[in-house]
Amino acid sequence: MEVIKKAAENAKLPLEVVSLKVKYPQGDEKQLLKAVTGREVPSGALPIEIGCVVSNVGTVHAVYEAVVLDKPLIERVVTVSGGALKNPQNLKVRIGTPISSLIEECGGFKEVPAKIVVGGPMMGFTIYDLDTPVTKGTSGILALTSREVNGAHRTACISCGRCIEACPMGLDPTNLFKYIDHSDYDSADSLGLMDCKECGSCGFVCLARIPLVQGMRLGKKMLRMKKVKS
């Protein structure tokens, strides 16, 4: 933090460094804007509509390289981690590099991973082929052990309400999921499905291990397809 503040001072630009509480999903643009500016982005609106633009450091750096150095986006920093990996690291790699090469660079596996996830532990997706290439959106790769993967089986919803408490967007994940499960996407839309940030908080706290975030993703996809057709 002090290093960043010092760099901002030295840049002699109208910059302010603000530190926030460590909590998930603080990095989501709507949560970030509320925490930093106190302004709320209305449902279905974009940050620009409240006079803000949110860009992460990697994007700002890529814009600098493209505009000032005339360098296209050909590489990015990827966090390679997880208990199954020998030597976790942050690596700067060329886009298109197979994930197997990153794992090799980290010394390979110390045990057979139960799951390889691309992205973060909450929002990432499982891959089954280590030849999958790094793309401009690959922020992390996790090689998880069976101890790190919760293998509990799904049961029926017990109406505990934990998913509602956990949702940073104030949604009702349990009822959204029920509508999506019955292919009633219009009712899910009326409950605010499109405001879901796919942060995974609801699924993380669900004692019944219901794949809530996967349901939200599917529901949003189906709604988008429906809107394109109509």
30 binds ligand SF4 (CB under 6 A): no
118 binds ligand SF4 (CB under 6 A): no
Cα separation, 145 vs 208, whole angstroms? 22
Which residues ranging from 152 to 171 are in contact with ligand SF4 (CB under 6 A)? 157-163, 166-167, 169, 171
Q: Identify the residue among 208, 218, 222, 223 touching ligand SF4 (CB under 6 A).
A: 208
- x/- mask, ligand SF4, residues 165-204, rule CB under 6 A, reads -xx-x-x-xx---------------------xxxxxxx--
- Judged by CB under 6 A, which stretch of 44-52, 109-117, 145-153, 211-219 contacts ligand SF4? 211-219
- The nearer residue to ligand SF4, 149 or 169, going by C-beta atoms, is 169
Q: Which residues contact 142 (CB under 8 A, 6 or more apart)?
A: 81, 82, 115, 116, 117, 120, 121, 124
Cα separation, 68 vs 74, whole angstroms? 15
Cα separation, 200 vs 217, whole angstroms? 10
Cα separation, 23 vs 68, whole angstroms? 35
Cα separation, 225 vs 222, whole angstroms? 5
Q: Which residues contact 42 (CB under 8 A, 6 or more apart)?
A: 49, 50
Nearest approach in angstroms of CB 168 to ligand SF4 is: 6
33 binds ligand SF4 (CB under 6 A): no
Contact residues for ligand SF4, defined by CB under 6 A: 157-163, 166-167, 169, 171, 173-174, 196-202, 205-208, 210, 212-213, 216
